[in-house]
Structure 1
């Protein structure tokens, strides 16, 4: 019963027509249920017209108008129950058609002579008007169909959106959320408080302008900061943006679901750091113990000892493992760029500033970990600003003067330099040193853990041999001796490079010394030559000296030879088989230079 679905509108049309033509109006559907009526027919609305529907039936079946000048006498009225005593004085009816289907009839009725005169005064004009009213009713029904279809589509979309595993919401031109699915209401707690909506949308727009996919943003929801992956797309109408659709994925949930689906079991990150010597085991144990805390960690070790590897392992073992891990090399970026990289900047804060500004690494790291590599090379002006962040746990973007941004990330710093020596030389702030030196972890060089050299070398050899498709059984005895006694100033990184070179050069099943880089042989010869020089210039068996006196003499002799050939202290440390930091400490202890 389609017309019954718009009964109220049909009745309004019937009343309007009756008011204009000053005759009575009656409208029935295809089942001859009276949908609307005026005057004497109004009492029969929503009742069947059985026995009184013969003229309407003819019009409906024939699909054209019917004009009855003398109701009750016209032969077409004979089947009607009121034939011979009809109270009507005239009738004109017209079918209502929608998409070439007859869906009802609209009739004009006269019940007295005045109405009859008005009805038949100009039949052609009345028929034209009546057909227009029939078309209007059909249009109303069409609109109703479209509206119902839209409601159905909206409801289907709502159900689909609510079943999605990501938050989806629409935003208008005023940054108001006008529609949100269940997950969005849950993530953003919209049912409790939506006062932060503008702040969230602004943060999303800034992150969208500053990042490439996949994009992420940190939103403050209540008293909690949460990290989301997001996408924002415009909804265009005639080339003009009307609204935006935004989707959010909780980073922690995404990682957790991925692990569940894949059956992935997180390995111990520290097991990825090779070596079983007491020195490296102790370093890993300390790092593993502090991983769960928020304390600042300072990793100290020579180049190539795995400082970033340790930083990542600490992050991956910590409760922050599902948050971002970001790193910056303080020695690789110019001072004027490093400040904006760390702290970010507001739009218009300097010439060339990106529209909308840019979040810094402190901000993008969110509740994750920020790794400051080569912190010892940070310029003094930036050291002051970093100190304030570590002390106050907040900062401002460059050009920002509003609400400060709270620091939520954990800081891990690393350096190959002796920071105490840098402090003594006036190149590093003492107060910043103590802020960073909360949990210092010394990463031993390969010289301090020679028992790890050959096991590490074998693991690296296997990996590179598999990569290039070679069958190598291992290292010859002579090659093992070379690897074991080499100084390894570049530590594990140098070891990896040497072995990768050897894998590519070797033509037998066992790596021979001839396949090692020439530099390795040169350094080995230089190292042996220096040791012989040391042995020749100092009587190591001299009687009457204590162990400390022997140590002091060895260091003094080695330093003298390094000075004679304008060498570096790193070379002296390598010849003595100790770390650079240990050498500097011993030099201070014995008053040597």
Structure 2
């Protein structure tokens, strides 16, 4: 059981007790509804924060009856007969009064007299003492109610902050005089500044929001936000906050319009995605596409594995569009970075009765008769893995094809106990493994030119890349895969003029540095091996005996060395190059 409300305001309660004791010259004892002494004076002070179950019969009676109780003969009255300390009781008189909040007793306050000579005087004015004690009880209850309201308000503010931070739109809250009171995390990401920075920038007139015009297709307003010399295009609405008919502030809810446009273009492209539109001619990639296309017709659950940025979702959508479920929903769930309770509701739905049926349904239900794509399934917690496995097995309630993706080593996670074996074997039975870009050198120019054409069309530009730039791209290892190619080409287009032929020297400095300092050739094992053999042969010479020494130095047999010389086309010269 947690701490009581009286315990939470014990400092205030103790002050009340001390004042009452001083004024009335009687001892005060206050307990909460758990029979814990919250405050006490003189005789009771040492026992604070301790339970008094053995000696608190009068308190127990008041907690049960919710009525004020007067004990004129402590130790001998009926209520005291079962008290564990009645034979040691030194009290001469006691008044106990309940502390009631919203119809429930949250504690008891008592006045205790130890001076026998004053007893008759107290009895004569008993009604006054009872009335005074009940008033003090009401004050304590009011203090407790105030504390509860404060805690509820604090919780509501924290909850609201968390909820606002979870939404995908930017949110800025202004007060009556248009000063910034609050911004959520999405606003910080879009605007590139936190609350304190924006408040300061507004103060020095380096932050402003300018309304442009309404956008018919979104029924929202377009704005330009100026932060120093930077301008950001936003789309959204400013809503007034009205209190009793007065505008006490406003809330600006917005999107980054550039992201919105990209998402719109992306969604339009994705809807019509087919295997024919997935770019790649390298043998290992075309085999992957052929395998995926075969599996599209079989309606089995699938696992798509591959490094980040290889296009796992695009493959999933192409499979859906090629399958018998293509006219039904394709629903995506992103597991990375999601809180368990949030992702659980997203997959399986909400249970709140106040929501309508559509709002309560999870994506598993929304994907009925269609495809549910679970991105980064390895990030699901073991408990949610179990619920997903139950759903997969429950064919009667769920007519859904599951396509899961992962960039992790699920086999290792399964062996370590982080991933359920039954779910792993259910998904791994039909796996599509997408090769990384570094193993698809033939496809790098195709991808670069595809994204170049796409972004040039979006920006209204005519830009070409030289063969030297393409060659440089082919030598780079692309750890971010297709997504990295897309981002780099996009950056090149956005930093060049309207019409330009881009050679290596015209590349943005950071892109040039990235492509030249970290190339795939540095990590090509065959090239490293050839270079090592050449280095050793140059050191020892080309004679038969020299080659024996070279083979020994390399840790291989002479016959193996000759095979490698033939493989790498290393001819008989005194100086190898």
Structure of greater relative contact order (alpha carbons < 8 Å, 6+ residues apart): 1
Q: TM-score, normalised on structure 1?
A: 0.42
Larger Rg belongs to? 1
Q: TM-score, normalised on structure 2?
A: 0.43
